[in-house]
Structure 1
Amino acid sequence: MILNDDGSVRQLLRDGEPYDRAIRLEPAYAIVSTYFRLSASNIAGLAGAADDELRRFHGIQAFLMALTGVEAFTNVFFTLRARETGDDALKAIVDAKKGSLLARLERCVERAFAASLDDQEALIGRLRELFAMRAQIVHPRWDPASATIGGFIPLHIDGLSMNFQSSFEDERLCREAFLWCLLLVIRVAKAAGAGDVAAFCRFWTGQENVSEEAVLRQLGLGADDAPGG
């Protein structure tokens, strides 16, 4: 900003050039937390929905926003990491246009931390399954189906579908998807040496009082659910 003598703003600059539009600057992590907050909000709506159609609306949004949160987190967090460490190679991985998101994520983790996340193979494997379901939402196709109602004169109805969207009426599916995405953020926080995982998750996901133990327990992976636990 170029200021007048009285402290008022005379001219905004962007990259050194005059900029005559309004500017609203926010922390980079806000890009990511928006998606996680939207997912959590829609899970709450899903739990209280009065009919299947409303459950489907909330479920699809909850699921899609959680997985989009993973994509946003991968792109934003590792870009910040590359800037902080001056690692051009990491930035190049983040910016790569080819390959799947999860493949880029694994390469980012390897480059940034020179080590794998805790139980990375299982975590990425589950996320890969969830992203395959996400692909159905963002690249929808019609698998034709028909129905015949028997009787003296059978009634045949064509142009129907076994609609994959009905899967997202399941609160448990959508909640678990959210939790797996949240677990990824937790595991990256630990790998990055974050001293306070709850604070890290508050910034990056907008969720309060997050702990790895609680997330694992909700996923049925906590110590209480282990054999002999």
Structure 2
Amino acid sequence: MMSTVTLFEATPPEALKSQILQMVVDYVTDISMVAIAPSNPLYNLYQYGIGYEVHLYLDAMDGSKGIPVELIVALDQQDPSIVTGFALYLPVKDDPQACTVAYMAVRENHRRRGIARAMLDKVRERYPHAELCCVAGKVPCFESMGLQVIGARGPQVIMNTRDHGTDGLLAVLDVAPIYRSLEVQQIHAYLLKQHGKRAMVDAEKQRDRHLDQMTRHARTLVLERLGEGGLQSGGRGPVLVA
């Protein structure tokens, strides 16, 4: 694998944190629930937004937000100062065995080396009842790592190490204010100036069409695997914490 996998229960050192945030920006299509394409004029806006989401979760690891956040980081064996992958996950309140993986990425030139599997294995050592959401196209990859399809939520397929979700409470940060922030408004104004109103309206339509398509793919896959019942078992879903 050529990477060592390390657990962090507090905010990681700045040198690692900055690499994680750079990976989020570089792989925002893979990480974002919207799966925004680099060709879409809104791409820069999502790079900022998703990057800021992860930044808030990393800061919340100091306990200041009142929600549990843990982080697995894969480091290059030859040069441990280089981050090759990360998995940020949220332990579930009142279910000590359960967690949800919120963000995960592997550096492009280190993929297909078992890093994602090693990180998920580390997560499962601590929380055997682990869940994550992914687009339909990634399902076979996560199935090969021992997860199974248990339902759909919007454009995402819900996958779990067991055949059901937890009944515990998953607390997540309310990230909606990021997308109403002055910074996002400024980015949007800049993109509007750069691309023009027509292109920005088209970009939003393109994003929404893509989301609808992903939602259809997720539903179709769940129907194939689980039948109608699978569409009803979307789990309890997260609860926002300010």
Please tell me the TM-score bracket, short chain as reference: under 0.3
Q: Which TM-score applies when normalising by structure 1?
A: 0.26
Higher strand proportion (structure 1 or 2): 2
